[in-house]
Amino acid sequence: MRPSLRVLAAEHLALRAVARIVAIEAEILRRDGRADIDLLQNIAAYIAEFPNRIHHPKEEDVLFRRMRARAPQRCGAILDHLLAEHVSESASIAVFLAALADFRAGLADAATNLARVAASYAKYLDRHIETENTLAFPLAEEVLHETDWDAIDAAFLSNADPLVSGDESSRFRDLHRHIMALGALPPGL
C-alpha cells in the first residue's frame, strides 16, 4: 500500500474503533440508562478535534484535490458526497457534544436523546469510512499518476501542516489509547 494510503488507513482504523465503542455505549445507555461518563468525555474530546484537525485536511486538501484535478468527471460525484459528509459530520459532533452536556446536567430525556445521537454518529462514521475505503481510495489508485502519489506521499509524511505539530499528533495518539483502555471489555467477558 502507498505510504499516504497507509496513513489514512491507520486513521480510519483508529476512528472506527472509537465508533464501535460509541455504538456499544449508546446501546447500554438506551437499554439501561447508564453511561460511562469518563469514557464519553474522552471520546467527545477526541472527535471534537481529531477529524477536523488531523484527518479531513489530508483527505480534502491533498488527496481529493488531486483526484478532482486529474479526473473531474469520474471523481466529482463521490468527492462532492464525501465533502458534504465532512461538513455534516461537524454538525453531528456539535449535536453529540450538546447531548452529552445535557446528560451530564441531568436534563429530562437526556439519556434517550444521547443514546440516539451517539448511535447515529457511530453509524454515520462507519459508513463514511467504508465509502472512502471501498470507493474513493480505489478510484484514487485508478486516476492518479505516479507523480501525484509522490507529491501526496511527501505531503503526508513531511508534517508540513503548521497546525499540526508532532506534540499534537502524540496528544491524539495518547487520547486514543486512553479511550481504547477505558472502552475495553473487562477480562473474562
Between 25 and 132, name the residue whose CB sits nearer to Fe ion. 132
Measured from the CB atom, is 8 or 29 closer to Fe ion? 8
**DSSP per residue, 112-179:** HHHHHHHHHHHHHHHHHHHHIIIIIHHHHHHH--HHHHHHHHHHHHTT--TT--HHHHHHHHHHHHHH
Give the shortest CB-104-to-Fe ion separation in angstroms.
29
Element (H, E) at 91: helix 72-104
CA distance to 58, 60, 65, 89, 173, per residue, from 31 (Å): 38, 38, 43, 26, 31
- Least Å distance, CB 9 to Fe ion, is 9
What residue number has its CB nearest to Fe ion? 132
Number of C-beta neighbours around residue 165 at 10 A: 11
Between 111 and 136, CB nearer to Fe ion: 136
CB of 31 to Fe ion, least distance (A): 30
In the bound state with Fe ion, the residue whose beta carbon lies nearer, of 86 and 104, is: 86
Which residues lie near Fe ion (CB under 5 A)?
Answer: 59, 132
Contact 176, 14 (CB under 8 A): yes
- For Fe ion, which is the closer residue by CB, 30 or 86? 86
Taking the complex as a whole, the smallest distance from the CB of residue 106 to Fe ion amounts, in Å, to: 35
Instruction: Tell me the closest approach of the beta carbon of residue 36 to Fe ion, in angstroms.
Output: 26
Q: What is the DSSP string of 26-43?
A: HHHHHHHS---HHHHHHH
